[in-house]
Every structure is written in C-alpha cells, then in structure tokens.
Structure 1
Amino acid sequence: MKLKYFFTLFFTLLLVYVNAQSENKAILFSVDGAPVYTSEFIRVYNKNLDLVQDESQKDVDEYLKLFTSYKLKLKEAKALGLHKKPTYLRELSNYKKQLAKSFITDSKVTDALVEEAYDRLSYDVKANHILIKISENASPEDTLVAYNNIMKLRDRALSEGFEKVRKEVHNGQTIYGEELGYFTGFKMVYKFETAAFNTDIGAVSLPFRTRFGYHIVNVLDKRKSRGERTVAHIMVMNKEKDSLAEKPEDRIQDINKKLSQGEDFKYLAKQFSDDKNSAPKGGMLPPISSGQLNVPEFETVTFGLENIGDVSEPFKTNFGWHIVKLYGKKPIPEFKAMEPELVEKVKRDDRSKLIDQALVDKLKKRYNVGNELPGMDYFVSVFNNDYFKRTWKLPEDFKADQPLIKIGKKQFSYRDFGDYLQKTQRTATQKGAYESIISKKYESFLKENLIKYQEDHLEEENEEFAYIVSEYRDGLLLFELMETTIWNAAKTDSIGIQEYYSNHKNNYILPERIDAVVASSTKQKTLKKVSKLLDEGMDLDQIKSLVNSNDEIEVIFTSDVMDTKHQALPEKFDFKKGISKIYKHNNAYVLVQVKDILPETQKTLEEAKGTVISDYQTYKEANWIKELGAKYKIVINQEVLENVKSQLKKQ
C-alpha cells in the first residue's frame, strides 16, 4: 500500500516538474515571427528587479513593454547587419576572452589563496632584508655559490646581529641590505611576503629565492591592520571669482576659531565647506582605508586622530585647506565585503601561478590528457643547437600529420607542437638537455591549448557564462544601433534640435536668483550689529575687523549668486532686496543682504543645448520605437503572460 502512494507522489512531483519546465519553454511573445521564451523574460525580470528606478517598471505589464522595445531594437540591429561589423565582432571577442578568465580557474585553490590574502591584509609586518642578486637563468654553479653566500650571511646575522651585518654588506649592486618599514599583503612578491609572514618577530628566516635572487628577512614587528576611519571634513578651495578675495588659509583659520569656540562641526561644514558632495551631509566622507587615498597628507592626519570626536588642526593638500573630525574607527572590512577585490588581486599576483597549475591539472583530468609528451624521442631526434641561435627549423621529412594528443573533440598533430617549438625559439632559452627543454615547452603548449579549448567551448559547458555573454552581445549590438540611429543623428540634426527647443521652451528656464551676502553667527546679538553696519554701507572687510578678533570669530560671510536651494540660505527664504530679518539655520543664525534679484529668464538654445539634445534624443527614440512596432509585428500570448504573472507573484 505504501509503495502505491510512493509512486503516486513520485509521478505527481514529476508532472509538476515537467509542467514547470514547459512553462519556462513556452513562448511569451514573438517579434516578426521570432519566438521569445518565458525563461528569458523571467530571468531578466528577476535580475533587473532591484535595479529599476521607476516603481512602475516593477509591474510585469510595464516591464514587458520595455522588454518588447528592447527586442524590437535588436531585431532592427540585425536587419541592418550591425552584428556583422568587424568592430562589433572584435569587441565581443575581446570581452569573451576577458570574461572567461573569471570562469576558467580552479576555485578551490583560488579560495584558499584569497582567504590567506585576507589574513595577511589583517596585519602589517615590519622587516628588513638582505638580498644577494642572481639572475633567474643563472647556471647551477652560480646558483650554488649565491646560496652558500646567503647562508654564511645568515650565520653571521645570528651571531653578530642582523642590523650590523645588513649595514656592512650593503653595496647597492650585488648585495642589498634594506629597511622595508611596515608592509601588508600584496605589497611584496608572493615568496617574500610568505617568508615575512611566516617568520616570528625577532627571527631571521631561512634563505629563499625570488626572481631577484636569494634573501634572508629579519622580522622586527607585527601589528594589526589600521583598518578604516570614518571622518568628516571642512574644505576651503581657492575661488577665482570669490568677490571677498579672501585667502583660503585665512578662511579656514576663521572656521577653526569658531570650532574652538564650541560651534558644531557638521553645521559649519554645511555652511562653509567647498566640498559640495559632503557639505550637505555635515562634511561626512565614505570610510577611508589605509593606502586608499592618493592624498598622503589627508591620510596621515586621518589616521593620526586617536579618539572619536578628535578634530585636526587646519592642514593643506593639493585640493585646498581642510579640517578633519574623527567619527568612527573600524578594523579592515569583513571578508565577504573584500572577497571580490581580493579575487582580482590574487589573479594578478604571483599567486596566479599556483592557480594556473591547479587549473591545468583539472583540465587534463576533464579532457583525459596525460602528462608525458607522446613522441618525445622523435622530437629529441630532430632537435639541435640551432634552437639556441634561434635558427632551428623543422626537417623537410618532418612527420607533420602524426597524431599527438586530443583535447576534447580537437585532435593535435606533431605539426602543431613542431610549429610551437619553432615559434617560441624567439624566447631566450638557456642551453640544457634537449629532453628538459622540449618537456618545458610541451608543458607551456599543453597549458595554452587546454585553456584555449575550454575558453572556446565555455558557452557550451557553463550556463552562467553563456547568459552573461548573451547579454553583453545584445547590449553591445544595442549600443551600436542607438549610436548610429539616435544619438549621433540627434546631435547633428541642428534643424530638429532648434524646432524641438522652440516647441518646448518652458522646459528650459533659469530660476529666479539673488546676488547676496549671507552673514552667519551663533549669536543673534552679533547679527543685529552686522545688520546695522551693513545698513550704514560699511564694506565686509571693515565689518569683519570690527566684529571678529584674533581670538574669536563671531561671524563668517558667504557672497554668491544664489538660488532657493543654496546651502547658505534658510528654507523658503523670501527674495526681497535689502537686509533680511535674522533666521535660525543649521544650528546657527543667518542674516541675508540681497543686493539684486535676478528674475527668472529663458535659457537660450546655446545655454541649454546639452539638456535639449538629451531630451530630443529621448523624443526621437520614442517615435522610432513606434515605427519599429509597425515594421515588426509583436504577438503576445496572453495565456502564457498570465501564467508568468502568477509565477512571479509566488516568488
């Protein structure tokens, strides 16, 4: 009896699975007879759901309109033959090769190296080293001499002291004894980094070799990474058109005095900082990591602040003058946050050689390829010393058609490896046993072709890769179409642009503005005095000298042409000539002297040209889509669409 229910359940589940598969393979709509399946629509809809700005686009019907427009454009692009353009094909090929690098790898080895890299980035190591330089291609005899010499220096360092020996032996030519300071992961070649991180504090490592020669390293200290700092800043830049003609260093000192008087940092930043991105947020900047900025002065000051709430003295960078306040200290980001960046770094580093070897081993197993070169004896027999002179040629009776190895469905012959040997003799090769040279060349030949074969067949082997390539292929094609049909055409259509501007002038208006001076202070009493002095016609420099002193800054002036959204103006400020009442604004008080009111004015075509061209392009595109809809018939399967809506609703 139980068996009966088991089979009933099994076939029910199977039927549900088959129905789901059928739904995904159902045709949602067709463009000029070409089918578009529900699987593609659902995948793209789900992928882009969190990216759309307009809430209406999350509605399935609205999104379907966008998707059908997209398919109409692709249909037109192929009808115009844009998918056959050499530039398009070259761009697509380059992208596929670049993308394949992230798919063609050994994930286990990569993951281990990424985790190791994160562990090392969590610390800084302070070390000194001694290096005996030796060429990578040095003879065994010279290599042994260098190794024996570095061992002798290590013995001396252990008995006499590392620093004494380091300073004595450094000559800057064949032997280097250097202070390296603090460094972390990725700052040294991988072998050096590994030796430094694996050596205890105060110890001297065993000799190890890098491409520079033989080293010993003395580790002096290890410390936790300095992590991240969250700071806000007030910045004052040079302003060529500043009517006050005030030096930035004087202005920053005035702001600093207001800080020392107890005024709030964030409100001063909102009123006076010239960094328009951070000023509205009270000067707050995104978290900063050590080594992240190309402004060493800023980084030094930032990491020099010890306690939350500490404020720096004014300092100068290439961007202007700054005051920085520390709001947060945090260790290095969590592993998950750094993982994508670390993966890319590992692949560009010396570590990549370990990843490459793991990949080759995996591909050999996948395609059933052995390690040994078939026909080694034959290749040795046709080899000679001309190879080291770069004049070696394959003999006339070379067995070109003899099968060599098979990778997947591709058969390689002796000719393929023979040509590779001949081609790569241009690379400097040190003399040695023929078998050894041919074996190394075969390893390179095999690695190159294993990776290329997987790359060429990656769309067949990896569904995710196939999806990404498909999206890029269509996106690139769409870009080609839009550039030739809409964007470039709209830019050069001067008559159409002029006509569009004339018909939509109300969209291009310069709002009402004022030419004004804003006085800001934490004291109403001070602004009452400033109001009186302004009314008497006293200039700003005189007012500042009367109201402010060397020890205390009572008022700061901002002079500019301002619209209603200007940071210095209070909300809903009434544009009226003369001296305003005193307003409460940004935890301070402000007084506004309106010198002139600049009325709302119509922008000329030249003044609004960039916006007009953009709007004209949108207008042209909307009309063009209507034309494409008439040219290529779209038929939507309403029953399938309702099923799609139900399926998406359940997610």
Structure 2
Amino acid sequence: MTLRYLFALFLTLAALNAKGQNLEGKVLFTVDGEPVYADEFLRVYNKNLDLVQDESQKDVDAYLTLFTNYKLKLKEAKRLELDKKPSYLRELSSYKKQLAKNYITDAKVTDALVEEAYDRTLNEVNANHILVKLNENASPQDSLVAFNKITKLRARALKEGFEKVRAEVHNGQTVYGEKLGYFGGFKMVYKFENAAFNTNVGDISQPFRTRFGYHIVNVLDKRQSRGERTVAHIMVVENKNDSIAENPEVRIQDIYKKLNQGEAFDALAKQFSDDKNSASKGGMLKAFSSGQLRAKEFEDVAFGLKNIGDVSKPFKTDFGWHIVKLHDITPVPSLEKIKPELIEKVKRDSRSKLIDKALTDKLRAKYSISDTPPNLNYFISILNDDYFKKTWKLPSDFAGKQPLVTIGDKTFTYNDFGVYLTNTQRNTSAKIAFKKLVLNKYEAFLNENLIDYQEAHLEEDNEDYAHIVAEYRDGLLLFDLMETTIWNASKTDTTGIKNYYDSHRTDYLQPERIDAVVATSPKQKTLKKVSKLLQDNRPLDRIKSLVNSNDNVDVIFTSDVMDAGHQTLPEKFSFKVGVSKIYKHNDAFVVVKVKEIYPKAQKTFEEAKGAVTSDYQNYKEENWLKGLKAKYKINVNQEVLQAVKTKLKK
C-alpha cells in the first residue's frame, strides 16, 4: 500500500451513521462563501476520535480548527487545478475500482467460502503427492496422455504403496513426488486444498487437475491447528562495541547459565536482550501462528515448547542467537474475530473465481441479460489462424455499428466486441475451435462490462460508497497539494534549510554521553567485589575470570558509549568519572565505571539534517497556512457549532 494511499485513507475516513437529525443540511462554516455542513464534520470527527494521539484534538474547538485548515487547503488545491492532473485522476480511479469490490461481491457465496476456510484454519493435513506436470493450456491430446499416466500411477500406488511409487517416479522435470508436511487452508491452490481435505486419512485421492498438471494425493494424517503461541525471547547479536562478549554465542550461553541458576527470564531480557523493541517488556513478543514468522527455526522452537513457562536452549537464526520462554498457548480465534481477514484471503485466492461467477450471475439477472448468447456467427466467420499468431486484424469492411448486447442504458456494439477480440488475442495461446474461442471471449467480454457498468453507477446506488469516494477524493487532493507546495519544495530549498539550522542551532544538540563499563548481577555481594576490581583498574577479561566460571555466570559486562537512556543504566544516573555506587535496576544490581564523559555538543548540519528538514517543512507549512487564511475568509455559524457540541456530549 503506497504512502499516498495510507495518507488519504487517514485523512478521508469512511462514513459513519453519525448524522444529526436536526443538523443535516445545516451549514457549520463557509470557506470563501463555499458551505461546509455540520453532518460532514460530525462524521469525520467521530471516526477520527479513536485514532488521534493528541488529546487536544478531541476538543471540538481544536478539531474544528484542524478541519477548517483542511478545507482551506482543499480550496487552494482546486484553485491550482490539481484535481485535473492525470496522475491524480488515475490514482482516484484505481482506488474507486479497489473499493468497489467490497460493494459488488456476492455475500452468500463469500460467506460459504469463508466458513469452509475457517474450518480449514482449525485443522491441518499431512499429505504427500505425485504430480504429472502439464501446461495449463495443453492440447486435449496432451491432457489425455497426462491423465492416463496419473491414473496408472494411482493404480500402482494402490497396489505397491504410495511412498514406494512416489520415490521411484520423481524426476523433478515431468513427474514430481513430494512430501508436503502439514498444511492448512490457503497454503495450497484451492483445488489441491479441496482434494487433500476431502480425502480420508490413509486414502489416495482420485486424479485431479490444477494449473500445474494432474495430481494424486495421499493423506497421511489430519490434526487440529496448533493455534498461536505467545513467547518472550532474549536475543543476542554481534556487538562490535562490546569488548567482553564479542562472540554472541558465548554471551547467549552465559545468559542461559544465569537462567539455570534461577535468575528471572524477564529481568535478563531487560538487561541483555539486543531486541530493543521487546527488551523493556521482558522480551515479550506479540502472539504468532504457524507460518507467520520469517524465521522458521524460531517458530519450530516456540511451537516445540509444551508447557507454559518452558524455556528453550540457546539456538541460532539469521537474526542472531535466542532463548525463548513460552507464556501462552492460544487456540484458533472464533470465526467472528477473524472473519474480515478470511474474507480478504478468499478474495485473493483462486476461490475468488466462484465469487466472481456468483456476482456476474447476479448482475445478469439485475440487467436482464439472457442466458442465451447473441448470434456470434459473424465473428466466427471473420477469424482465421492469424489469431493464434497474435497478428489478426479486423477486416476493412467490419460491420462495427451493429448492436450486440445492452447493459442498463448502455448498448455495446460489434465494434466494442471486435476491439476486445483484437486486444485479447495476445492472451490466447492454445489453438481451439473458432466457435468455442468466440463464445469464451464473449462470456469474458460480457462479464467484464457487467462489472464495469455496476462500478460506474455505484455512487448512484450506494450512499456509503459515495461518501467514502468523496472523502478519499479530497484526501488524495490534499496529499498532492502538500507534496507540491510544501514537502518537495522544502527538500530542494537547501539555502532555506541551512538558514533555518543556523537560526535554531540550540535545538540540535548531541546529548551528554559516557564511555562506560556496566557490570550487572543479581547478587549485590558479588558486585561489591567487582566494584573493587574496577577501582583497581583490573582488565575486564581478568575481572570476568575472577567472578565467573565456565559453569557459573554471576556477572555480565556491557561496554559502550551511552547516553542517559541506555537500557543498562539506572534511571537518573549521575554522570561522574570513576566507579559508581551499586544500584538496583531492572530486577538486578549494577555498578558502573565511567571512563570518560562527553559533554553536550552541537550537531553539525549534516548530522541534524533530517530533523532540520522536518522542522523546516513544519515552519513553511505554518506560514503558508497563515497566507491561506488571509486569502480565503472563514465564517463559522456559532449557533450550529453549539448544536454540534450539544450533540457530541450526548
């Protein structure tokens, strides 16, 4: 999803049923005489209410300021005729087409497929298969040869055993015999999934065809889905600044030893995990299901833990070394909870062909299209073998004006279908009889135009759809305006950015930092010994050998240049050269040796350029908005505003 799409969706939210009975049609304010209605303000305010981060935006007056600014920008965008740009029109058309899919689908068929998909989310199949590879557009003769071959292989498998035959016939070119393991819904093409789920354990399916060729499936087992796991982890990656634990495997093994000594998993995660997103939460990760993580090794270990509280041994993935603790086992959610997700998966899957057919059948009935196609003999007569060479052209005396089919108030002519035949010949690879080819093309032509016609008239038929499109239209326009007027202009205004930095230098400072070694241990007594050794300036590797052993790790050391927010430092730690007192921090004890203090320092322009550019854009936008307010007069109807506030308090 593009940034433009996300931005427009955030600013132009779906319509709610928030219209005030007494406010509909009431003008809340005008922008240069153009009215903005109270019901629109209510609709957007209510939808935004749960999304805003700044509490001040929930205040009606503050939000009204944001909304009037929004309308001011739209006024300027239309003055600049940004709504006539080809790129804007293409983007809007694409969005409308995407959105329309949610409004013209067949709900009954979709629901049936979603329920089936949910059942297959609850369960998994372990199966092997044999595939006789076949081109999707193979000739009838080649298809028959492949079908006969897979039929013979099934007969052999029934007699000799599936695994024996599978192993013998696999050549990786024309015949594939593969072990698939466990899989659930949406993991295979729909026809394959159907065959696997509809075959009993121990049985071999009848031959069936997918776009890859002919298959037979041997179902070995069926089981309930493993659901979700919630785990915490400690991750260690290579840290070039850590002179003590340069080898991440050594460091993770040290941490594992501390776990076995009885130290708390969450405390060690807070102290030592290199996953900064989860370390402060004791290593906790969001729940995940099979196939959701990029690291299969991590997933296998997590699902291999059986009991709440179990902890894995250290293991490696492409991201680093890990130790995992199991916190929760969650079964597959209810249908109601995951139905929106399943609907989207069904629409993207080959199941969608069933939905498409149900939709076109419904539209044929709506627009009274006969099940009997019109006379297509004329088109059959003008085709020749050039069509399969992709060089066919309409004859010079083509009878294009003759009507072919009518959808609603639009009549499609012979010329419309002739052009369609010409444009789609590149998609025709297999040579088939002209009669069948023309009929197939006509069905596709009719279906496409039925859907296009419905989409084109959807704003007239569906108020919710019309609201969303109108709001997205404005949001997209606003994005183009900001990009043209502020963002791109600011990025290229190098002189303005540099001047802004020079006049706001004190806003861009490097914080005070220290070059330090932090020793962490659950035992205060041990750290007293470490503190003395640090004061004596003993080498760190020597200190480590004195307080730790191969079988027992009492202290972990972290060496780095740190600011006050570093995870190993206690809160409000006072920067002072030397060895600190012993602090209680993150359910353990720490002592810090500060070797050097780096005071606050001015960031160079290059170091601060990203932040300066962002601040400069905000500065330019504020001044630009002041100019718009001077250009376009805003008048707020205070009586209607008070009615809006009263309604929102209910």
Q: How has the CA–CA distance of structure 1 residues 85 and 524 changed in structure 2, closer, same or farther, with 3 Å as cutoff?
A: same
In 1, Cα distance between equivalents of 2:561 and 2:262? 30
Q: How has the CA–CA distance of structure 1 residues 397 and 82 changed in structure 2, closer, same or farther, with 3 Å as cutoff?
A: closer
Which residue identity lines up with residue 308 of structure 2 in the other structure?
Answer: I
Cα RMSD, aligned residues only: 2.4
Aligned to 1:373: 373
Which residue identity lines up with residue 318 of structure 1 in the other structure?
Answer: D
Aligned to 1:107: 107
Please identify, of 312-321 and 490-499, the stretch whose mean Cα deviation from structure 2 is larger.
490-499
Aligned to 1:208: 208
Q: How has the CA–CA distance of structure 1 residues 361 and 518 changed in structure 2, closer, same or farther, with 3 Å as cutoff?
A: same
Structure 1 portions without partners, runs of 5+: 1-16
In 2, Cα distance between equivalents of 1:456 and 1:561? 62
Aligned to 1:42: 42
In 2, Cα distance between equivalents of 1:622 and 1:437? 62
**Which secondary structure does the structure 1 equivalent of 2:24 belong to?**
helix
Residues 1:545 and 2:578 are matched in the alignment? no
In 2, Cα distance between equivalents of 1:505 and 1:422? 65
In 2, Cα distance between equivalents of 1:160 and 1:628? 83
Once the two structures are superposed, the pairs formed by residues 18-33 of structure 1 within 5 Å of their partners are 23-33=23-33
Aligned to 1:523: 523
Aligned to 1:53: 53
Q: How has the CA–CA distance of structure 1 residues 360 and 539 changed in structure 2, closer, same or farther, with 3 Å as cutoff?
A: same
In 2, Cα distance between equivalents of 1:524 and 1:358? 72
In 1, Cα distance between equivalents of 2:530 and 2:257? 19
Aligned to 1:179: 179
Q: How has the CA–CA distance of structure 1 residues 530 and 196 changed in structure 2, closer, same or farther, with 3 Å as cutoff?
A: same
**Shift of residue 67 of structure 1?**
0.2
Residues 1:305 and 2:326 are matched in the alignment? no
Aligned to 2:235: 235
In 1, Cα distance between equivalents of 2:352 and 2:120? 17
In 2, Cα distance between equivalents of 1:433 and 1:505? 77
**Shift of residue 219 of structure 1?**
0.8
Please identify, of 615-624 and 259-268, the stretch whose mean Cα deviation from structure 2 is larger.
615-624
Q: Percent identity?
A: 69
Once the two structures are superposed, the pairs formed by residues 213-292 of structure 1 within 5 Å of their partners are 213-244=213-244, 246-292=246-292
**Shift of residue 617 of structure 1?**
1.9
**Deviations along 1:376-405, whole A, 9 cap, x unmatched?**
344445455554455554445443222211
**Which secondary structure does the structure 1 equivalent of 2:580 belong to?**
strand
Aligned to 1:564: 564
Which residue identity lines up with residue 46 of structure 1 in the other structure?
Answer: N
On the 8 A contact 2:131/2:176 being kept in 1, the answer is yes
Once the two structures are superposed, the pairs formed by residues 73-88 of structure 1 within 5 Å of their partners are 73-88=73-88
**Shift of residue 419 of structure 1?**
2.5
**Which secondary structure does the structure 2 equivalent of 1:23 belong to?**
coil
In 2, Cα distance between equivalents of 1:523 and 1:393? 87
Which residue identity lines up with residue 331 of structure 2 in the other structure?
Answer: P
Once the two structures are superposed, the pairs formed by residues 246-645 of structure 1 within 5 Å of their partners are 246-384=246-384, 387-388=387-388, 390=390, 392-428=392-428, 430-645=430-645
Q: How has the CA–CA distance of structure 1 residues 182 and 31 changed in structure 2, closer, same or farther, with 3 Å as cutoff?
A: same
Residues 1:70 and 2:70 are matched in the alignment? yes
**Which secondary structure does the structure 1 equivalent of 2:269 belong to?**
helix
Which residue identity lines up with residue 285 of structure 1 in the other structure?
Answer: L
**Greater RCO, 1 or 2 (C-alpha within 8 Å, sep 6+):** 2
Please identify, of 306-315 and 235-244, the stretch whose mean Cα deviation from structure 2 is larger.
235-244
In 2, Cα distance between equivalents of 1:627 and 1:382? 65
Residues 1:97 and 2:97 are matched in the alignment? yes
**Shift of residue 355 of structure 1?**
1.1
Q: TM-score, normalised by structure 2?
A: 0.91
Please identify, of 315-324 and 427-436, the stretch whose mean Cα deviation from structure 2 is larger.
427-436
On the 8 A contact 2:230/2:287 being kept in 1, the answer is yes
Please identify, of 94-103 and 313-322, the stretch whose mean Cα deviation from structure 2 is larger.
94-103
**Which secondary structure does the structure 2 equivalent of 1:158 belong to?**
helix
Which residue identity lines up with residue 566 of structure 1 in the other structure?
Answer: H
Structure 2 portions without partners, runs of 5+: 1-16
**Shift of residue 48 of structure 1?**
0.6
Aligned to 1:125: 125
Q: How has the CA–CA distance of structure 1 residues 248 and 375 changed in structure 2, closer, same or farther, with 3 Å as cutoff?
A: same
In 1, Cα distance between equivalents of 2:143 and 2:614? 66
**Shift of residue 449 of structure 1?**
0.9
**Deviations along 1:20-62, whole A, 9 cap, x unmatched?**
5562111111111111111211111111111111112111111
Which residue identity lines up with residue 410 of structure 2 in the other structure?
Answer: K
**Shift of residue 245 of structure 1?**
6.2
**Shift of residue 144 of structure 1?**
4.5
Which residue identity lines up with residue 124 of structure 2 in the other structure?
Answer: D
Which residue identity lines up with residue 435 of structure 1 in the other structure?
Answer: K
**Shift of residue 146 of structure 1?**
4.3
**Shift of residue 508 of structure 1?**
2.8
In 2, Cα distance between equivalents of 1:322 and 1:562? 24
In 2, Cα distance between equivalents of 1:131 and 1:153? 10
Q: How has the CA–CA distance of structure 1 residues 396 and 534 changed in structure 2, closer, same or farther, with 3 Å as cutoff?
A: closer
